[in-house]
Amino acid sequence: MKPNKDHYKVIILGTGPAGLTAAIYTSRARLEPLVVDGPSPGGLLMLTTDVENYPGFADGIMGPDLMMATRAQAERFGAEIVLATCEQADLTSRPIKLQLDDHEVTCDALIVATGAEARWLGIESEQHYRRIGGGVTACAVCDGAFFPGVPVAVVGGGDSAMEEAHFLTKFASKVHIIHRRGELRASKIMQERAEKNPKIEFIWNTGVEEVLGDGRLVTGLRLKNLLTEQESTLEVSALFMAIGHTPNTALFKGQLDMDDKGYLITAKTSMQTNIPGVFAAGDVQDTAYKQAITAAGSGCMAAMDAEHYLEALES
């Protein structure tokens, strides 16, 4: 989809909670932003069923419904949202140059809210039960409460896997941690915490070969011991992935400062990156929380920072 103009005061990349919140704030500031959907319109919440931890919804809200409502709110205030992908970016030029599919646009300020993708196993059955919200997820905080009194499994061996497992013991009857190795990558204190929890059980040197289910909901896992190649079946009602995230920052390598995992680095007191006029918000720079509400908050901050930056340029 071709943008209406060639130059904008603000362009926002991404339409997850961070990008759309930034769109609401910049639109209300009369900055008339262009918002670029990218390859995953709506972000990870488009794959989430009930969202019960976002303020303002006493009975919860479906993830896609939340994102469509936020999108409509941004459009109500005048944000221009286009279905396009940013293929190239020259962040050092002034104005900033972006190649959106086959059309070049420029802007004075850029907000990068391209998000991060959870790492998955890459097996077909996993994708099926993830797509329909049937029990495969990458967020225990988001979905753990939907599995009270039933056994669940967590895949991973780092601190995040231990944190997810510990959180899930508040709801599940048993939490199985499945790890491909014979020892954890998690810090000693996190490992000891998990080992002491009577609800947590470790399954070592094992991979998930298939997610089993009734076509609608997860009922178990087909496992394979990587040392003996022996297969077994584990009855669980959910599979939680905790093998990390991959931030969508490949486009900006060599231009924006990143940590060793590819997350964008912002200033301590703002969402400013190392390049003036370029701001980052949401999961693309969040290495710790990865919640819709924190993404939305950082989108608000990035929008206000961009507004102040533009005001300084005009003064």
pLDDT (tens digit per residue) in 239-259: 999 998 899 999 999 999 999
The catalytic residue among 142, 283, 286, 305 is: 142
Nearest to 11 by CA among 88, 79, 83: 79
Clarify whether 86 is annotated catalytic: no
Nearest to 252 by CA among 35, 89, 110: 89
Clarify whether 139 is annotated catalytic: yes
207 strand-pairing partners: 224
Clarify whether 300 is annotated catalytic: no
Domain 120-241 has CATH 3.50.50.60: yes
Bond into 95 cis (ω within 30): yes
C-alpha angle 181/182/187, rounded to 5°? 85
Over range 61-80, report the average pLDDT. Answer: 95
pTM: 0.80
The catalytic residue among 107, 139, 283, 286 is: 139
Is 174 a residue whose pLDDT tops 70? yes
The catalytic residue among 37, 107, 108, 143 is: 143
Separation between Cα atoms, residue 162 and residue 156, nearest integer Å: 8
| Residue 76 contacts residue 66 (beta carbons within 8 Å) | no
Instruction: List every span in the chain annotated with CATH 3.50.50.60.
Output: 7-117+245-314, 120-241
| Residue 194, Cβ density class (10 Å: 0-12 exposed, 13-18 middle, ≥19 buried) | buried
Separation between Cα atoms, residue 87 and residue 79, nearest integer Å: 21
Domain 7-117+245-314 has CATH 3.40.50.720: no
Is 47 a residue whose pLDDT tops 70? no
What tokens appear for 163 in the block? 């944190």
